[in-house]
Structure 1
């Protein structure tokens, strides 16, 4: 049965399938509890709310006997960091440059799970990053790879570029041996992080992670972290891209969900002009759509502020009257970075007195303080 399952998975586009037991991650509850206690989850409150089920598969589904872990290679066609130097352009994480992987993989998982159920009469449940399942520790226990120092699964065959999916089943399937750590003394992923989001190897403080900040975080981003974000407007691939194991992912293996080879980083000016309808249309079917237009424009405006391109100041100024306070606040910051001090000071009496949102008022105040001009004086 297992070999038939592997063959069917390959036919569906999965690159690797391994099996583990639901009791194969006994250290997960303690590690998750420590991570949450340290506050490293940031505003992801659902992590704590579902901690018991997340750390113990039997708590999520008591009948589960085997867990089928699957991986799909999404190694980018080119260097995902190539656009970081193009300051008027946006850098988007490789996984988000094509159709939402949740939609693609979930359909394939359901088909594979249906095959398993019909072949042996077992019950099945499928999960793709949408339920309290610790996919990475389970994938490590199943032998797909090991958890690298950047807390992402690393594969001997596919480096740091694997989408993961899980099938929980009541079938009793033979488990595979766990993978061991092969990071050695390498610290490339830790050293490259722009915001020092790794307090120690194998530990991630999401509150400093650009992927978390640009995707999950709902409010204004800490001012001290904004300059390090550069033009990364959705996710961050730095720690993934420098992993030396990636050379095997690129060695003749076709990624099933990689971005198009002719992918072109979008212009920041173009993105800054998106209203809600245009945003939804442009990113229909993309994981970017799930963040919403306001958070996305917040990120775009931070990138504009980091661009050093005075010509982009006009795009930020046009957003000072935006309907979203989150967007207006980011526009204030961007202008304070791009305009000469006297030009920025001239904007304060025009816009600050009309502002009612406390967070945007705070942006005006902080920017004025940094420019050496008080709102009152202006």
Structure 2
């Protein structure tokens, strides 16, 4: 992904923040090349998708192939998506593990949490070169989201 993509998204983010300010709302644009929050976490909280093992947001529309930015605003009473439509993704990712196996820098690791004993995945930023091999190898990149979800749900029915 070239810097042009990040530049264009940054410009659009700033334009939208400017539009909000012109209409009486406080708005702070956070550039896609690095901001004050982890965008995949923020997007997951907004109900846009779910963070995969590789740390990227997985959405029905684009799988792991999107760039994110954010605008912090004073708008009140925005609709909140309380559906948990993407909650099956962590279990699928835990069984898949392609991104962990394919990472040339060994930047994606699994470790047991000392708090609850559950296995969690972590991306070691210093080892990640940004090569996108994890994204290219991701099942959600190769097949459609709904196709994977349907197959996953059928496998759960067989086990039940």
TM over 0.5: same fold?
yes
What is the aligned partner in structure 2 of residue 175 from structure 1?
A: 80
What is the aligned partner in structure 2 of residue 242 from structure 1?
A: 137
Unaligned segments of structure 1, at least 5 residues: 1-94, 212-234, 250-378
Of 94, 106, 128, the match for 1:196: 106
CA RMSD of aligned residues (A): 2.1
Residue correspondence of structure 1 range 69-108 to structure 2 within 5 A = 95-96=1-2, 99-108=3-12
Is the 1:137–1:147 contact (alpha carbons within 8 Å) kept by the matching residues of 2? yes
CA distance in 2, matches of 1:134, 1:207: 16
Q: CA shift at 1:124, angstroms?
A: 0.5
1:10-60 CA-to-partner distances (Å, cap 9, x unmatched) read xxxxxxxxxxxxxxxxxxxxxxxxxxxxxxxxxxxxxxxxxxxxxxxxxxx
Q: Which has the higher strand share?
A: 2
1:92-138 CA-to-partner distances (Å, cap 9, x unmatched) read xxx12xx433321121112222333334x111010023332221110
Larger Rg: 1
What is the aligned partner in structure 2 of residue 154 from structure 1?
A: 58
What is the aligned partner in structure 1 of residue 154 from structure 2?
A: none
Q: CA shift at 1:139, angstroms?
A: 0.6
1:170-217 CA-to-partner distances (Å, cap 9, x unmatched) read 1112222364241412111111112322221521123332x1xxxxxx
Is the 2:99–2:108 contact (alpha carbons within 8 Å) kept by the matching residues of 1? no
CA distance in 1, matches of 2:108, 2:102: 10
1:118–1:181 Cα change, 3 Å: farther
CA distance in 2, matches of 1:143, 1:126: 20
What is the aligned partner in structure 1 of residue 39 from structure 2?
A: 135
What is the aligned partner in structure 2 of residue 125 from structure 1?
A: 28
1:130–1:189 Cα change, 3 Å: closer
Q: CA shift at 1:150, angstroms?
A: 1.1
Of 17, 20, 43, the match for 1:116: 20
Is 1:207 aligned to 2:126, yes or no? yes
CA distance in 2, matches of 1:176, 1:117: 25
1:61-83 CA-to-partner distances (Å, cap 9, x unmatched) read xxxxxxxxxxxxxxxxxxxxxxx
CA distance in 1, matches of 2:106, 2:54: 11
Unaligned segments of structure 2, at least 5 residues: 111-119, 146-160
What is the aligned partner in structure 2 of residue 273 from structure 1?
A: none
1:175–1:118 Cα change, 3 Å: farther
CA distance in 2, matches of 1:207, 1:115: 37
Q: How many residues align?
A: 128
CA distance in 2, matches of 1:156, 1:188: 19
Residue correspondence of structure 1 range 1-378 to structure 2 within 5 A = 95-96=1-2, 99-119=3-23, 121-128=24-31, 129-172=33-76, 173-177=78-82, 179-183=86-90, 184=92, 185-200=95-110, 202-209=121-128, 211=129, 235-246=130-141, 247-248=143-144
